[in-house]
Amino acid sequence: MTFAEDRLFEINRISQDSWQMFRMLGELAIGFDKLKTLPPLVTVFGSARTPMTDRYYAQAQELGKMLAEKGFGVITGGGPGIMEAANRGAFEAGGVSVGANIGLPDEQVPNKFQTLSLQYEYFHNRKLILIKYSVAFVVFPGGFGTLDELLEVLTLVQTQKIRPFPVYLMNAAYWKGLVTWFQQTLVEQGAIENDDLFLFKTRDDHHAILAEIKQYHSPKFDNQGFKIPTLKDRKRALGERH
């Protein structure tokens, strides 16, 4: 490649990056504008591959229904599986059902149970939208995408980058290996504090979640046993020991 060709390539790359930045901002602006007037949202994560016949699907659908009946909106990634189930429960109960959809080659086809459907090109924008207006997170069994979303949420709460809220891992047996690894490796190696394990709870029964969410955010403030990070926790998470 000649010097002139190299310069042209660099100019084209910068131009593409600049326009990409504006597209990112546009996606966020639309999402902020649409979501700011909605009732409190509960984010539901989980596998796009969960079939309708699976017990997790039925549980997520019932949870979506219960949340809608109690005045909460439901927001998911908008796809099939667990996302569809939670959206469906809220939608069929006449509640707010939001999908933050993203284009993927095979798995991501927007489900039809959305009262508000948003479309995203960038995962980081989508994750921000799923977090910004949420008052709780309920995480059902899932794969890499679900783990990515869960760990980002825990990191943001731990470092006080977002306001704290309750995080639930549904079906304790599914998460047992991960939680054990947190305890026996991350805590033992000093990568996290022992009480960071109280940033989340594992649950098998979803019925108690609604009352806990309300109490967590009540004016009297009952954190329901969840850890509320402090400035000291933030400094530790960022590697500052003094």
Which residue in 117, 46, 127 sits closest to 86, CA to CA? 46
Residue 242 lies in a domain: no
Task: Say whether both 32 and 87 belong to one domain.
Answer: no
Query: Please, which pLDDT band fits residue 213 given cuts at 50, 70 and 90?
Result: very high
Where does residue 239 rank: exposed (0-12), middle (13-18), buried (19+ CB within 10 A)?
A: exposed
Domains in the chain: how many in total? Answer: 2
Q: Which two tokens stand for residue 225?
A: 């046993």
Task: Say whether both 30 and 111 belong to one domain.
Answer: no
Task: Say whether both 195 and 164 belong to one domain.
Answer: yes
Query: Please, which pLDDT band fits residue 103 given cuts at 50, 70 and 90?
Result: confident
Task: Say whether both 5 and 114 belong to one domain.
Answer: no
Provide the pLDDT for residue 242. 54
Beta strand ranges found along the chain (DSSP E): 41-45, 73-76, 97-102, 116-120, 134-139, 167-170, 201-203
- pTM for this entry: 0.88
User: Tens digits of per-residue pLDDT, 157-172?
Assistant: 999 999 999 999 999 9
Task: Say whether both 16 and 42 belong to one domain.
Answer: no
Task: Say whether both 45 and 138 belong to one domain.
Answer: yes
Task: Say whether both 91 and 191 belong to one domain.
Answer: yes
Residue 171 lies in a domain: yes
Q: Which domain holds residue 27?
A: 1-37
* Strand, helix or coil for residue 118: strand
Task: Say whether both 25 and 130 belong to one domain.
Answer: no
Task: Say whether both 28 and 70 belong to one domain.
Answer: no
Q: Domain containing 114 — which CATH number? A: 3.40.50.450
Q: Is the pLDDT of residue 93 over 50?
A: yes
Task: Say whether both 142 and 172 belong to one domain.
Answer: yes
Residue 106 lies in a domain: yes
Task: Say whether both 48 and 74 belong to one domain.
Answer: yes
